Amino acid sequence: MKFKVISLGCPKNLVDSEYITHRLEQKGHLLTDHCDTVIINTCAFISDAVKESIETILEEAKRQDRKIIVTGCLVERYGEKLKRLLPEVELFIGRNYYGEIETLINKKGAFVKRGNFAETFPRKVLTNKPTAYLKIQEGCDNRCSYCTVPAIRGGLRSRPPEEIKKEFDWLIENGYKEINIIGQDITSYGKDLRITLKQLLKTLLIAEDDYFIRLLYMHPKGINEELINVIAGEQRIIKYMDIPIQHSDDRILKVMGRGYTKDDLERLLTSIRERMPDVILRTTVIVGFPGETEEEFTNLMEFIRKHEFDMLGAFMYSREERTQAHRLRGHVKKSIKQARYNRIMELQKEISRRHLKMLEGKRMTVVVEGKEDTSMVGRLIIQAPDIDGIAFIRGDCRIGEMRDGKIVKTFDYDVIVEV
């Protein structure tokens, strides 16, 4: 079989795709764009992701000479309904069956029941060096009122630390120097195993080599002084903290089920910046949550203006079935949500422009990722892959390198670097 994998959605999905690819290659199948089989690993976190997944399936199905296999979150969320809705697909595979996918791909018209999946190693890394993802857990126990993840991916299941360490060492030995640790909420890692993220990090950092660790998706209520001290005290951990606050108004936070207050956020952000003055903070927020008033939205704007996150992503609330928020009253009109989103992002553009301007003339590690027209492109080490800005690189360099460079010009979100 000649196959290609289209991985939609988050890096956690990408790691699953890497696992699938490895298993198929081990059985002699060939990964290539000139394929007879397309495996689409779908996302279905919100309505827009569902739409993208379906559009991708239909687009790939236009080629009559290809077999379409669909897996991932769309299958977990909609199950048997997909057979009727998408007759173009020859096989649906639930995540629980990734471990035997090589025996299922020859089935036609079969639907494989849903389930959970946690194993991610061995796998074929599909990102370019020096960057790779390391998934340390699956699922989530937080039960935020707007979130579909527990229904799709199940409850928290932490990977044993010895398995994570084995995979981490393998990545380093194979030339991956920027390891992005991921999970739905990595601060909850180990609650089911009676171990903490801090302990896991100390286990990983035993490895003596030239590498960086980035921590992604940290729930505010899971960040304590011990974890802050570990991040602050270890040079190989990038001083970059991705902390989705979602909102700052106490009433909204309570209805969201986030488990903290505005004062808690104030104390946390103050503590982080006192311990790490040069830290890069990223967050995400939701606008137009059911019942959100203009005053509550203004409170969020003022919070962002006060704390000036270096990077921020905003989402318009999406009403999703099988969530508690779906049943709430006072759903905000789409036009109002769009206007609030625009205001948030305009504010963030101003903040980002000022923060990047302060970096002009400074030297920093830059990751070389590719070529765009005549310019090499990548990102600063303080920019996470795919979600933050771009670095346009001047000078002699090659894809996959991590180079020291001087920031010579900055824009709203991007920079120009000389190496």
- Threshold 0.85, pTM exceeds: yes
Q: For residue 40, what are the β-bridge partners?
A: 6, 70
**What are the Cα distances from residue 344, in Å, to 70, 202, 309, 328, 349?**
36, 38, 12, 24, 9
pLDDT at residue 118, as a whole number: 75
Burial of 234 (0-12, 13-18, 19+ CB in 10 A): middle
- What phi and psi values does residue 101 have, to the nearest 5 degrees? -60, -30
| Structural domains of the chain sorted by starting position, each given as residue range(s) with its CATH number in brackets | 2-111 (3.40.50.12160), 127-242 (3.30.750.210), 363-418 (2.40.50.140)
- Closest C-alpha among 215, 292, 294 to residue 246: 292
- Closest C-alpha among 41, 35, 28 to residue 3: 35
pLDDT at residue 147, as a whole number: 96
Distance CA 156, CA 138 (A): 6
pLDDT at residue 114, as a whole number: 64
pLDDT at residue 110, as a whole number: 66
Chain position carrying tokens 């397309």: 38
Structure tokens at 270: 């103050």
- Angle, CA 291 vertex, CA 289 and CA 293 arms, to 5°: 95
The alpha carbon of residue 385 and the mean position of all alpha carbons in its chain are separated, in whole angstroms, by 9
CB distance 341 to 285 below 8 Å: no
pLDDT at residue 325, as a whole number: 97
Low-confidence stretches of the chain (pLDDT beneath 70): 109-115
- Closest C-alpha among 67, 49, 37, 39 to residue 10: 49
Task: Compute the half-sphere exposure of residue 409: CA atoms within 13 Å on the CB side of its CA.
Answer: 5
Distance CA 419, CA 406 (A): 6
Distance CA 181, CA 367 (A): 17
Is residue 233 within a helix (H) or strand (E), and if so which, with residue range? Answer: helix 225-233
Give the strand pairing for 391-394 and 415-418: parallel
